A and B are shown apart, each in its own frame.
Chain A
């Protein structure tokens, strides 16, 4: 290392002479002198936190400043790639609108009257009022909103709240609905992993896998291997979507569907598979519950099975009418899906976050079940957990969601609320309710590094250090078949007086003293990570990420029960781990199929007994198909129906609600054409543009039952007639986002799915007219 640095130094200076005349590393005449600074170059292997993707990144530092981000070539998730948002972490780090010191709201909430205070002041006041709660025996009046984060930070929060004695941890992590679907069908709450690398037919329903999926680069990496010569047969990517998304553009089969009708499409495909007898008979017989009609014990005649339902209601003709997909396309999809030995069907929240979404998700997942595509190459796995050392006795986690905040806060239910990585007054369909709830809560504490929509309603803002400045961890995304643990480590010292929210929680525990102090003894979050890593060290499995060859070898050995330790002490391990940036266990222990099944009889439900229980309890009048995957049209459209167009909200270039949307690079990559820069837009189909006499780039109003927003119309062939595509997340905070972005959520009425609990984001009807 030393030698290399030295070389680079001499190199750099030596170069200067050579390069200068060449590329102009010379003070140019005129007012502006390009700077030539000596560059001592170092690299930090860490993990990107700009999205849930969990990619390994390599941060280049010059004179201590992070200046560029490259991918970690040895990382199993992204293998060296980085996306625009990932690189934008640098612009977030240096963002002019960062909050650099703790602040206290002096005016009423939302007045934006803040005054800077010291950390001690902040922690004292906060711990004081927490102690008051305690003395009143009302610890549960303190809630913690956990935004999009995971790993040890989430664990710390649960642990903290557990110790504190409040069950009120609210998740603000809009999911894709898989856990709910698994609960309903497999009888266990889990998120599947997808072995794209070995699949030969990937059928995506509405998941913009390359653009804004849970782990976009995991898929982009696999997508590359689809094409690589070494792979032999070229895998097929088929995409069903209401919008010609970027993933759709790469698909060899691109199928435009009517909004909300993907459930029907999935069952149409099932119909063809059943008819062509292209499904796994034995698997269906042995492992599927409710595949065939069955005699009810209690003589109520026969109970309708999946098979009969599909063959009865979802002939290609019918499905074609529901989805607008031509009959032959449905048949071809069904055949090719059925024929492919390793076919994989996948969906995401764009399927589930709307009325009937739960059934649609079940319908899509049923395709995998028909293929018996579980626990085998090219199919669906369940990622084994990472053997981290626990923080303490595992806390009970019952999932409250951010949407529960209003009811919790009603009539003095909450007096203190912490907000971490969460901006619900911008990103939740329940924005206004949440806002007024926050106004009602006595003390709101936000860790947001920016003055976002929500922290403006906070009494205290304790600005967090940003990902490139802090210690954290990020287990590989659940969608990755390889289990692993990404280390996040600081590349530069935290700006101003900002502090790692984890460290702040720890010192808060010390302020509170007593059981809190003893229960959270760690000095810093770094210590927590070391503590957890011991679990890995002792697990005698996996290793810090080496190159693919090492990994192969390692996996090979492990499968034969060997394990080669390449490190002497824990410190040695830790050093290697931080140098590698991630730990992975390439050889995931192949679980038995029964690890995928929660129900006692070891069957996976096509006929959901889980739903039967729940709906039975709720007593709402139910028909038997309510327990089976089916096309569930009622509830769509949400609210009034006399509006002509269907609203489809999508992520342009995978922008986060607020944070990425305000970063120049990320925004640039999201804007379809430069002429639009700075203006919000919506895609309108050529046909509708004529019907409503709208010209390209005209300003228009988009109006739903709940509100209206003003955007510029982009007449796009990528847009289906009768649909308006509206980008989500083009920035809310900061100079680069604030003034410009409009929030699509204005148009969405706050409703949740009774089955999945997900807030609806799709299925709203709108009209459009010239502004």
Chain B
């Protein structure tokens, strides 16, 4: 049973936020109007958390791309009263939009604040609906959503591999953010598979995870800067 995981190399990441956009493009993230954004209702399954510190010219910047950590021990899933968020096959924490009652308990329970709530019916100005990815459902108002590790891509990759009867290779299943990253800073694969790059990287000396002490066992690893 594969255990999909992500390694993000902070030494390569330039904070360009292309991964945010790629995710929005791939997963039909609704376009949130300016005033809603200003209210803090933006939806970004992938968010590059950025902090500039220090007085000019002694500045430092921290940039941490943040998808869902896909915890092996997800606090969010435990509290959902209707099992609308739960650990699906391959350890990916899934959302069942049509079942979610929108209590936002999971969103509060997530220590990484990666869950987003649809405050309004999503809308796409003009023809922009035609951009939507038909492999991913559009979420109605009132439900919670989050990064799914592009699970729909896994489904497709599996089908193809099966049809061409061969095992699933690392290249077959890459999420949109990893695919787009101009710096190749996002590496994705099966954490348990020796042949996948994440196997080594996630076990290497530079690897660590966010809020590790909470025991949520995230499947997203960060390689620290080398400078």
Contacts and interface: CB of A to CB of B under 8 A. Distances in A.
Direct A–B contact in complex, judged by CB atoms less than 8 Å apart: yes
Interface of A: 4, 7-8, 10-12, 14-15, 18-19, 21-32, 34-39, 62-63, 65-71, 78, 80-84, 87-88, 90-91, 93-98, 210-211, 217, 220-221, 223-224, 227, 234, 244, 246, 248-250, 252, 254-256, 495, 653, 664-665, 668-669, 671, 674-679, 685-686, 716-721, 735-736, 740
A84 B55 contact: no
Given A23-B95, A224-B12, A244-B61, A87 B22 contact: yes
A718 B160 contact: no
Contact of A24 (B16, B20, B95, B141): B95
B179 A70 contact: yes
B97 A24 contact: yes
B140 interface: yes
Given A81-B18, A210-B16, 13 more contacts: A15-B152, A24-B137, A25-B137, A30-B140, A30-B142, A31-B121, A67-B134, A70-B22, A70-B180, A220-B183, A674-B38, A678-B37, A686-B55
Nearest to B185: A224
Nearest to A95: B126
B108 interface: no
B128 interface: yes
A671 B42 CA distance: 12
Contacts of A718: 52, 56, 59
Nearest to A24: B97
A664 B32 CA distance: 9
A221 B61 CA distance: 20
9 contacts: A26-B98, A68-B25, A68-B133, A68-B176, A84-B17, A90-B131, A223-B12, A668-B21, A678-B38
A119 B11 CA distance: 54
Interface residues of B, number: 77
Given A22-B151, A23-B148, A87-B18, A677 B56 contact: no
B140 A28 contact: yes
Contacts of A19: 151-152, 155
B40 interface: yes
A182 to B, nearest CB: 29
B227 interface: yes
Contact of A7 (B35, B134, B159): B159
Interface string B92-110: 0011111100000000000
B64 interface: no
A138 to B, nearest CB: 43
A254 B126 CA distance: 44
Main secondary structure on B side of the interface with A: loop
A288 B128 CA distance: 57
A674 B48 CA distance: 13
Given A32-B138, A224-B183, A717-B52, A23 B59 contact: no
Nearest to A68: B25
A21 B20 CA distance: 26
B210 interface: no
Nearest to B98: A28
A67 B126 contact: no
Q: Shortest 4 CB-CB distances between A and B: which pairs?
A: A256-B57, A81-B182, A96-B126, A678-B34
Given A62-B134, A675-B40, A18 B22 contact: no
B135 interface: yes
B184 interface: yes
A717 B54 contact: yes
A631 B176 CA distance: 48
Contact of A23 (B37, B151, B163, B164): B151
Contacts of B172: none
B38 A65 contact: no
Contacts of A227: 9, 11-12, 226
Interface in B46-96: 52-57, 59-61, 63, 88, 94-96
B213 interface: no
Contact of B121 (A7, A32, A65, A94): A32
Nearest to B122: A32
A14 B157 CA distance: 12
Nearest to B9: A227
Interface string B1-33: 000000001011011111011101110000100
Contacts of B129: 94
A35 B38 contact: no
A71 B38 CA distance: 32
A28 B100 CA distance: 10
A244 B14 contact: no
A80 B171 CA distance: 14
A370 B32 CA distance: 52
A464 B8 CA distance: 41
A721 B133 contact: no
A35 B132 contact: yes
B181 interface: yes
Contacts of A224: 12, 182-185
B125 interface: yes
A410 B139 CA distance: 58
B130 interface: yes
B156 interface: yes
Contact of B35 (A78, A223, A678): A678
B182 A217 contact: yes
B212 interface: no
Contact of B160 (A7, A70, A217, A248): A7
Max chain A Cβ within 10 angstroms of own Cβ: one of B37, B57, B148: B57
Interface in B156-170: 156, 159-160, 163-164
Contacts of A71: 179-180, 182
A90 B226 CA distance: 36
B103 to A, nearest CB: 16
B98 A94 contact: no
Contacts of A671: 37
B57 A255 contact: yes
Contact of A90 (B25, B159, B181): B25
B52 A23 contact: no
A669 B50 CA distance: 12
B175 to A, nearest CB: 12
A90 B99 CA distance: 32
A68 B160 CA distance: 20
B21 A84 contact: yes
Contact of A254 (B31, B59, B97, B128): B59
A347 B156 CA distance: 46
A81 B54 CA distance: 31
A220 B183 CA distance: 6
Given A83-B16, A717-B52, A244 B37 contact: no
A665 B181 CA distance: 16
A685 B140 contact: no
B56 A65 contact: no
B1 to A, nearest CB: 16
A250 B160 CA distance: 40
A11 B159 contact: yes
A15 B139 CA distance: 19
Contacts of B179: 70-71, 80
Contact of A665 (B25, B35, B52, B152): B25
Given A68-B26, A70-B179, A11 B137 contact: no
Contacts of A30: 140, 142
B161 to A, nearest CB: 10
B143 to A, nearest CB: 8
A209 B14 CA distance: 11
B151 A719 contact: no
A24 B98 contact: yes
Contacts of A719: 56
A62 B133 contact: yes
